[in-house]
Amino acid sequence: MNDPRPPKTVFAPAREEAEAAGLAITPQTEHPAYRLAFQDMEFLLRSDLRAVRFQLELLKPELLLDEANIESTFVFYGSARIPEPDKADALIETASTDSQRAIAERLKAKSKYYDEARKLARIASRVGEDQEGKKQFVVCSGGGPSIMEAANRGADDEGRESIGLNIVLPFEQAPNSFVTPSLSLNFHYFALRKMHFLLRARAVAVFPGGFGTFDESFELLTLIQTGKVKPMPIMFFGEEFWRRVVNFEALVEEGVIAPKDLDLFRFVETAEEAWKFVCDFYPDDGCDG
């Protein structure tokens, strides 16, 4: 029996065309010039196609997250070097110099934030879906180890999905094992990765970290400061660490930021404190889980 509904398109699906394109074998069809453009990797990787690759890297994660019914995310930034508490002593034991031992001890002192990130991710993951079936406050990390692993692990503790936004680097790396495989996304462009961190973000937790954490978190503060992004709860875990590495008040005293800019974020120490700040920011959204 014929389907009375009109077809979505009168054209053959691209997949069928791609399969058909490789059936004939002649000198002409074997030349790269004959390949369909979207099957020609040499063509897609040309420098001339950078703008197209930008579009693809923007579009693919957007489609996958839409299809997963993810409307909002809780983003976790933080170091890839802070160990989980059970492994912190091993760093000290392997230190061979006084300098290495001092650094290992400081990393061990910050290992408590692994537990706080995991706990906060568990709390956020309990929110689940809204009345329309859209998932809210889905945990989103950079997909790597340490603080990022703790975030994805916390969501996994609750049996919930979580996102990992990984990036190709010169040294070998892989997503942590707690990222949901269908939401484990890989990027070539840092700029597109950072955009996807924020497209669905409703809250951001910033844990102690290095250049990458600074880059991501201070760009977000700049975007809110300049009105490019709407205000959202931004929580910096570890006031002692952040005040040691950044003199925020000096920026005000030097006149390069306004006093009100210090209100764009809040220092916190625990997952419970952070979650209360989020719920106070969104009092009508039922974020108490």
Asked if 122 and 133 count as a contact pair (C-beta separation under 8 A), the reply is no
Kindly state the tokens that stand for 134.
């859209």
- Strand-pairing partners, residue 164, are 141, 184
Residue 24: band (very low, low, confident or very high) from pLDDT cuts 50, 70, 90: confident
pLDDT, average across residues 146-167? 98
C-alpha–C-alpha distance, residues 90 and 108, integer Å: 9
- 80-89, 157-166, 178-187, 213-222: range with lowest mean pLDDT: 80-89
- Strand-pairing partners, residue 262, are none
C-alpha–C-alpha distance, residues 142 and 206, integer Å: 12
pLDDT tops 60 at residue 277: yes
pLDDT tops 90 at residue 188: yes
pLDDT tops 70 at residue 166: yes
Q: What is the pLDDT of residues 205-226, one digit of tens each?
A: 999 999 999 999 999 999 999 9
pLDDT, average across residues 154-172? 94
pLDDT tops 80 at residue 263: yes
- 13-22, 73-82, 101-110, 249-258: range with lowest mean pLDDT: 13-22
pLDDT tops 60 at residue 172: yes
C-alpha–C-alpha distance, residues 180 and 158, integer Å: 13
Q: What confidence score (pLDDT) does residue 3 get? A: 66
State which fold the 60-281 domain adopts. Rossmann fold (3.40.50)
Residue 18: band (very low, low, confident or very high) from pLDDT cuts 50, 70, 90: confident
Q: What confidence score (pLDDT) does residue 2 get? A: 66
Residue 202: is it exposed, middle or buried by C-beta count within 10 angstroms (0-12/13-18/19+)?
buried
Q: Diameter of the chain by CA atoms?
A: 81
Asked if 183 and 63 count as a contact pair (C-beta separation under 8 A), the reply is no
Q: What confidence score (pLDDT) does residue 5 get? A: 72
286: left (phi over 0), alpha (psi -120 to 50) or beta: left
C-alpha–C-alpha distance, residues 256 and 274, integer Å: 28
Q: What is the pLDDT of residues 139-153, one digit of tens each?
A: 999 999 999 999 999
Asked if 188 and 52 count as a contact pair (C-beta separation under 8 A), the reply is no
> For the chain, which residues make up each domain, given as ranges?
60-281
Q: Look up the pTM and report it.
A: 0.91
